[in-house]
Structure 1
Amino acid sequence: MSDYRELLPIATEAIRRGAEAMRGRSPGALSPKGDRDLASQLDFIIERELRAYLLDATPGIGFLGEEEGSTGPVEIRWVLDPIDGTANFVRGIPLCAVSLGLLHRDVAVLGVIELPFLGSRYAAARGDGAHLNGQPISASTTGELSEAIVAIGDYAVGAKAAARNRLRLALTARLAEEAQRVRMTGSAALDLAWLAEGRIDAALTLSNNAWDMTAGVAIAREAGASVVDRDGTDHNASSAMTIASTPPLVDALLALLAEADSQPVPVPASGGS
């Protein structure tokens, strides 16, 4: 397939259905997903409904959902996060999204993200630019970290969280010294959409789950942002990290990440009474 634009109406309808469910239904029962992570009943409902819709509309395309995994072909497949930012959603925090992307040979080629409580729907297909509510958008041209607002992904939870957070904490400390502001929204899809719109200048996630990243990566790239792995190579589904920013900031951010990785995070001494 070369013209992914043909699939945008289908992806947009799927996203409309998911966003409508988020606005109109309660989260329902909550299920633990390991240490300090959770899924809502509505996560599963949306994923099952959109999986059925997409498999009917595009039977030759596979599907990967965050909650219930993969079905069908893997060379080209839809990738869905039914509620990105579930912890925000269940607390009534409006920074959450429904996110649907298309991976073709592990490269993000299409994405639609809706922020149901903010009235924003972002869409992009390779070669067609990025759009917000039907209007073209582009990433900012910020070129200095001192002028940049940088979003960083959530700290790790679950197995080996302390070890995984060493780099996250060190990077946060370095960003606090260099960037204009540092933000943590709790939704990777929202971070990448806001990068595409120019609201923020970089979105750094030190992991790479396809359901979190596919749609946002496609949208950010079509808006003119750069998205790379930690070594500066082009980002794909096999990358270790997702480093997305305005093109002039990439080198500075990768250098900052390398510095953070070389410096241990001080552990506060436990105080006595």
Structure 2
Amino acid sequence: MATYTDDLALAHVLADTADSISLGRFKALDLRVDSKPDMTPVSDADTAVEKAIESTLARTRPRDGLLGEEFGERSGPAGNGQRRWVVDPIDGTANYVRGVPVWATLIALLDGNEPVVGLVSAPAMRQRWWAARGGGAYTGRQRSSATAIKTSAVTNLSDASLSYSSISDWYDADRGDAFMGLTREVWRTRAYGDFYSYVLLAEGALDVAIEPEVSLWDLAALVPIITEAGGRFTDLSGQPGPHGGSAVATNGHLHTEVLAQLTPSQARSAPPA
């Protein structure tokens, strides 16, 4: 099995660069904020971080591809497509532009379609989370002071803590009733949102994190962190990984039951074809 130690080290270097840019612009009086075509905000910090990461990767991994939220798909000169970095320069831009410190840079490496390295750096919170395939998951301010993390041992939904990002998104996805039904089954619900739901799950601080509509750059870095911490990560159909456009992440014990709860009632009751 391939090891990704050098790639994980590079992800930390990329995060150092990203942190210096994003923290320098956080709460800046001259921060420029525009709206993208989907009406979500983008700041000059988002674009500057992604450009800086692209520049470093062009020097250090010229044969690798790159997918970024702000500038889309770019391939290395070889164009082999086997290895691709996936970057969300600032996950939680809405928080960032309002001065809320819960935002992060998400950096992932995909080998083929599999996320094999993931790093989340939240400099305003002075915290990082990271993992590489087969190497476990960790958190800390830096690698030298890392602490291994593990998902919880909760086995009953009635004891579970659930985090999500938006109630309205579930209704937009025609799963609002299923979502609300799940919230009534669990012990506790909170809307930590964005990356923070998933890293708390990896730490064992909560047990379920779900979103009905998300992009690859929102999820790719989170998959290795959760799975290496002992959890499970699929889309709403139960397919593993970050490619399905939705996210169901659990401590593993609760996954099958959560997927069943999130299936619309008409689908659960429909006779087999």
> TM (normalized to structure 1)?
0.87
SS of match in other structure, 2:253: helix
Q: In 1, are the aligned partners of 2:182 and 2:262 still within 8 Å (CA)?
A: no
Q: Give the superposed CA RMSD.
A: 2.1
Query: Which residue of the partner structure matches residue 230 of structure 1?
Result: 236
SS of match in other structure, 1:24: helix
Query: Which residue of the partner structure matches residue 119 of structure 2?
Result: 112
Unaligned runs of at least 5 residues, structure 2: 141-145, 269-273
- Distance in 1, Cα, partners of 2:57 & 2:178: 39
> How many percent identity over aligned positions?
30
Query: Which residue of the partner structure matches residue 162 of structure 2?
Result: 150
Which structure exhibits the higher relative contact order, with contacts defined as CA atoms closer than 8 Å and separated by 6 or more residues? Answer: 1
- Distance in 1, Cα, partners of 2:163 & 2:115: 21
Deviation at 1:162, TM superposition (A): 9.1
Give the alignment partner of residue 103 of structure 1, picking from 99, 110, 117.
Answer: 110
Query: Which residue of the partner structure matches residue 270 of structure 1?
Result: none
Question: Residue type of the partner of 2:14?
Answer: A
Unaligned runs of at least 5 residues, structure 1: 264-273
Deviation at 1:175, TM superposition (A): 2.6
Deviation at 1:216, TM superposition (A): 0.7
1:84-116 residue CA offsets vs partner (Å, 9 max, x unmatched): 000011111122111101111111111010111
- Distance in 1, Cα, partners of 2:170 & 2:190: 21
Alignment of 1:1-273 (within 5 A): 2-26=2-26, 28-34=31-37, 36-72=39-75, 73=79, 74-133=81-140, 134-154=146-166, 164-167=172-175, 169-187=176-194, 189-237=195-243, 239-259=244-264, 262=267
- Distance in 1, Cα, partners of 2:234 & 2:156: 18
- Distance in 2, Cα, partners of 1:204 & 1:196: 13
* Alpha carbons of structure 1 residues 233 and 66: separation in structure 2 relative to 1, 3 Å: same
Q: In 1, are the aligned partners of 2:215 and 2:245 still within 8 Å (CA)?
A: no
1:60-94 residue CA offsets vs partner (Å, 9 max, x unmatched): 21111000011114321110000000001111112
Question: Residue type of the partner of 2:153?
Answer: T
Deviation at 1:259, TM superposition (A): 3.8
> TM (normalized to structure 2)?
0.87
- Distance in 2, Cα, partners of 1:223 & 1:162: 27
- Distance in 2, Cα, partners of 1:64 & 1:260: 36
Deviation at 1:261, TM superposition (A): 6.8
Q: In 1, are the aligned partners of 2:32 and 2:43 still within 8 Å (CA)?
A: yes
Deviation at 1:177, TM superposition (A): 0.8
- Distance in 2, Cα, partners of 1:125 & 1:212: 17
Q: In 2, are the aligned partners of 1:124 and 1:222 still within 8 Å (CA)?
A: yes
Q: In 2, are the aligned partners of 1:228 and 1:234 still within 8 Å (CA)?
A: yes
SS of match in other structure, 1:248: coil
- Distance in 2, Cα, partners of 1:71 & 1:191: 29
1:146-192 residue CA offsets vs partner (Å, 9 max, x unmatched): 11111123357xxxx7973432x3244113211112222231x2222
1:27-81 residue CA offsets vs partner (Å, 9 max, x unmatched): 6211112454111111001100111112211112111100001111432111000
